[in-house]
A and B are shown apart, each in its own frame.
Chain A
């Protein structure tokens, strides 16, 4: 399967609601928590949401429709990163013999202080 929108991972629980339909409802409490609506839930509007009751699960869904169908090209990315890092930090690179110094320099530069816009320039 090719690359799909990885953000579907955030939405995917919606497709997983059927898990509770065919079972003993032992964790039916979690079904709504997977929805984007639950993700946007704010503690301040708790009363109205809390009294709304339980939504019925999506009809027709099956256990096979699991989130792992969203496939990340992990294998390719791992090898891509390895190639990039091997090229960036080669044996003759000036930082190769001073990892501690590299670490110190990088930490001093901007991990906490600079803004994102600065670090992306």
Chain B
């Protein structure tokens, strides 16, 4: 298969001068995956999509092998993270037609409607390509901020597209001290976002801890609650901007996207309820109990943040998706049982008036019985439904127990097990894929992200209208000045950290030994022995093994013949000449 299909395609399509081939292959993959359910040739289109990914991975690998070093990294980065327009070089009529069908994109100085290959790879879940060494090299460089570029996005809330910097390598020593573009370096961005979330969590804990200090139902809010509300509003704005930046499809690939959405929903319901409580002023307290339900979400989320590469969380994300889908289907189907039992109960009464006067169970009670049966907790429903109808009531309940408890739960467990085993079998690729997603999403285009919450709301209120009155250049200057002022301490820290990291390259390395620093680790020597050897040892090594392109041949020749004593002696003699010490023959 490889020789007959994949390699001929690679040989035909690989062109060292055409950087768009990988993008085009991934565009085709996305299209094959999108149409595979619509056509009769379902499996054929999946096979085609896989072929596209394999060919893309091979072509990227050839680029990687043919272009070593930093220029090669720049070339690979251009392939994966520079924008391409799918209608480049298309006939004018085709371009016009496609533009007419699409929603008007934000002005970006000629970069509208462009997409990058890495985004398509994430969208089509091309885990083989993302796991390839060339792609990982770029992802790692982008993650560490070695490769920088101006990202492209779908919609920006506070757009500042005056400048567009193509893909380039970053050199911190030549950078300004307050370089606001470092705020979108994924490694730093993830840390900043974690810091923001930790603040949110701390405010939440303080709000809930001190919520009973004052009399309930009054108009009084604690300072902690006010701070939490304001900060969280800014955080929600940031999340909203993140969702619309690349669309929900890409955002949903983030491990904790489902937790964020759940928390935002809880916060919105809490906010609306709290506003009503404060305005009406009646002696009720609904808002804070609603906010209590956010605790499991927030604590889980910070665990996801701290261990994004943990395979358990990656599996949890995938299983959660399956679970949500299956639960939705189950609720949809089993609503029929609820309605059937409700109507069966009404038929047991002679008239509507008799039914209304009776103490018959409500729909919530019947729903609760069904839920207990579903989880296998309680059989009250089976007994009580006999009051509705002697035969049909228990028959419905038993059927539900069979379908819901036995069949559905078995399917659910089977599907979740299958998903988990798939992820575990391909754990390395999954981790690399999630890392690529995190890296790609952290490079933000919208300048609203440069403002930390809750300053982003202030920026939205003041800067967005300012954009209408100022030209792009003037707006850009003001925007950058404000961003630098607001983020001055963070930018100074980043500048110090990056310069220190560069300076330390030329100096003797300081080993991070942790426990070994105190000599507490029994395996400390194993780590220490791999420190860079001194020059005299390197010299000896050079003399012992001449490394060149013929090393493989040399090794093969050596294997084919037995090392006799004479050759061993000369081997040892060489070492003796080099350092003048008496070698230990036992070593060899």
Contacts and interface: CB of A to CB of B under 8 A. Distances in A.
B181 A30 contact: yes
Interface residues of A, number: 75
Nearest to B180: A26
A81 B13 contact: yes
A49 B165 CA distance: 22
B94 A75 contact: yes
Contacts of B111: 68
B85 interface: yes
A50 B173 CA distance: 6
B166 A16 contact: yes
Contacts of A28: 176
Contacts of A59: none
B167 to A, nearest CB: 8
Contacts of A77: 18, 20-21, 24
Contacts of B11: 120
B571 interface: no
**Chain B interface SS verdict (over half):** helix
B463 interface: no
Interface in B152-205: 162-171, 173-176, 179-181
Contacts of B476: 23-24, 26
A99 B2 contact: no
A88 B176 CA distance: 53
Given A97-B43, A109-B2, A74 B24 contact: yes
A61 interface: no
A9 B168 contact: no
A33 B88 CA distance: 27
A16 B440 CA distance: 24
A38 B50 contact: no
B5 A89 contact: yes
B353 interface: no
B493 interface: no
Contact of A74 (B58, B86, B94, B109): B86
Interface in B45-93: 46-48, 50-52, 54, 57-58, 61-62, 65-66, 69-71, 74-75, 78, 82, 84-90
Interface of A: 1, 3, 5-7, 9-10, 12-13, 16, 19, 22-30, 32-34, 36, 38-44, 46-47, 49-50, 54, 63, 66-68, 71-78, 80-82, 84-86, 88-91, 93, 95-99, 102-103, 105-107, 109-111, 116, 119-120
17 contacts: A1-B89, A7-B75, A23-B162, A24-B476, A24-B481, A32-B174, A33-B171, A40-B71, A72-B18, A73-B20, A74-B88, A75-B87, A78-B24, A81-B13, A95-B47, A99-B47, A111-B61
Given A77-B18, A106-B2, 6 more contacts: A6-B19, A24-B476, A66-B109, A67-B166, A91-B41, A99-B50
